[in-house]
Amino acid sequence: MEKKDKYIGQLLDGRYEILEIIGSGGMAVVYRALCHRLNRYVAVKILREDLAQDEEFLSYFQTESQAVAQLSHPNIVSVYDVSRPPSVEYIVMELVEGVTLKQYMKSKGVLSWQEALHFSIQIAKALSHAHEKGVIHRDIKPQNIMILRDGTVKVADFGIAHLESAHETAEGHTLGSVHYMAPELARGSKVDARCDVYSLGIVMYEMLTGRRPYEGENAENVALQHISGICTPPHELNADIPSELEAIVLRAMAADPEERYQSADALLADLEAFRNAHAVLLAGAAPESAVREGGLSEEDVFTKLKPIGAVGELSKENYSRRRRRARKVSTLAGFFCVLIFAVAVFVFLWNFWLRDIFSTAERVDLPDFVGENCESVVNDASLKKLYHFTVVYSIDPDTEAGIIVGQDPEAGRSLMKVSEGIDVKLTVSTGVMMTKVPDVANKDHREATLELQNAGFLVDEIIEPSDTVTADYVISTNPAAGDELPAGSTVYMTVSGGPSVKTVRMPNVVGFTESAARSKLENAGLIWGESSYVTSDYTAGTVFKQSIDAGTEVNEFTKVYIWVSTGPEQKDKDKDEDQEPAAQQQSLGMTDWTGAVA
């Protein structure tokens, strides 16, 4: 018997009558409600009971209340009221009549670039307004973007929005949807408005190509691909995308925040400039009718897809008109209404109560499948009659492959037999999965790291000099390519640091002749730079000084300068007599071949 939601039928704060559930997420449930004070339908978002006591989730929910209260924009879902009584936390919002962008894309497939452009501009305008108010959404994805019947976009769900003015209490904690998450958010780094720009870039890519740029077996794998920033260019998946629009998308989703658009305003400016440059191609279809440009009618998109809610305000005149019409209902119509009501009550009671009393359906206790061989369990004919098995796999080196390591529901639960079989999820061990090490030699180390990680390995880089392999390219791996390792093992990757720099010990050339000193330097792998000739007490032609002290370790091919003696200074006996001519020579700058003043 299905359990009725506790809030349906309640009147919150004597004003909001909860009518039905219209959506649910990880943090809250959204209900359609009637505001008795203003006679209009609204959406009421109530925090899940199991999270109401969790301080972290309660903080996120209250952050949303603060964030959306600051926002007022035609492309953002409006908030009417926020209430925080002791028993329940809720937000009252505009009830939007439309479908999510995710539903729309699923129904329609790849969108035309004109339609994608129309939606993208509106989302960028919404983000621009939010960022101006200091609010970062941090969870932009198709599921949080509403498309109205007239083609208007409304951004919703600021459930994990981040106020720039708020203090971060959980450093390194990542939030959001991994397929649309900016690399810096996945790393737990400090976030800013560029995270939303990145997520919008991913959404634009998906609208134009019909697929997300990064897919993987698990969230970690997808996050690593975001960080690498290597994806299939959009034009390879859809040749109709204009190159200028593709360039805008790729810049918006650049892995490096510094290479990305630095604000939603900058992205919006380029989108509008592109739209204006292609005005001729966009002519003939008003922006408001963008939903119909792709060939789907309202019947196709909005009637076949269940709308998120129905917008409607009951004016005082309409409210009175309905009351008058109700009083004019004939007795026969009233009889049929009572009959229909009685039948509905009977059906309701039968489904939720009477069937349990009068039904002969049996209940069974769910067996304990943990430790059993999965193949034996799912192929057992007697079990197939009672259960519908779903199998998921988990790497468990401590358990033999094919053995069940978990089940949901747990063993011992008393469950009612149903014709289609009781749903049971089995978690099965893969054992130790052996995987071949891919050949990444002579590949750029970033590309090689991603390839090894995609194969299920951890990577540890070792830098070594190499005269044959270009810097930053892989020399080898340990274990070698082709060897098999258990998934999750570490592969040590040796990467070239470029040509090695050889060092030599500086020889002593003091006391040698100039030619001998030069020969000694060249034999040591050094370069003679220049000789200076100066008077000294050393014998003429002898080296008495070198630019680098003997014994010093220096790089090969370093230049070395030497000083060569011209002999002791000559003292003239008639120095006093010749002083004036000598002074004249010095003032004229006359020098001999040694470079000393004559």
| Cis peptide upstream of residue 479 (ω within 30 degrees of 0) | yes
* Dist. CA 146–CA 157, nearest whole Å: 10
Please count the other Cβ atoms lying within 10 Å of the Cβ belonging to residue 101.
23
Q: Return the H-helix or E-strand segment holding 345.
A: helix 331-349
Residue in the block written with tokens 């995609």: 454
Report the candidate in 421, 410, 366 with the shortest Cα–Cα distance to residue 388: 421
The DSSP annotation for 255-308 comes to SSGGGS-SSHHHHHHHHHHHHHHTHHHHTTS-GGGHHHHTS--HIIIIITSPPS
Is 66 strand, coil or helix?
A: helix
Please name the residues in contact with 341: beta carbons below 8 A apart, sequence gap of 6 or more: none
* Dist. CA 181–CA 140, nearest whole Å: 8
- 429 strand-pairing partners: 394
State the virtual CA torsion across 277, 279, 282, 285 in degrees, nearest 10: 150
The DSSP annotation for 192-251 comes to -THHHHHHHHHHHHHHHHSS-S---SSHHHHHHHHHHT----HHHH-TTS-HHHHHHHHH
* Dist. CA 62–CA 98, nearest whole Å: 26
Ramachandran sector of residue 466 (left: φ over 0; alpha: ψ -120 to 50; beta: rest): beta
Buried (b) or exposed (e) across 205-232, using 16+ Cβ within 10 A? bbbbbeebbbebeeeebbbbbbbbbebe
* Dist. CA 472–CA 594, nearest whole Å: 51
Please indicate whether residue 256 is annotated as part of the active site. no
* Dist. CA 60–CA 44, nearest whole Å: 17
* Dist. CA 223–CA 181, nearest whole Å: 8
Is 532 strand, coil or helix?
A: strand
Query: Max CA-CA distance within the chain?
Result: 151
State the virtual CA torsion across 518, 524, 530, 536 in degrees, nearest 10: -60
Here the tokens at position 152 are 């208007």
Active-site hit among 5, 13, 81, 139? 139
- How far is Cα of residue 592 from the mean position of the Cα atoms in its chain? 76
Please name the residues in contact with 504: beta carbons below 8 A apart, sequence gap of 6 or more: 524, 525, 526, 553, 554, 555, 556
CB 40 within 8 A of CB 50: no
| Angle, alpha carbons 413-415-416 (nearest 5°) | 170
Kindly list the catalytic residues.
Answer: 139
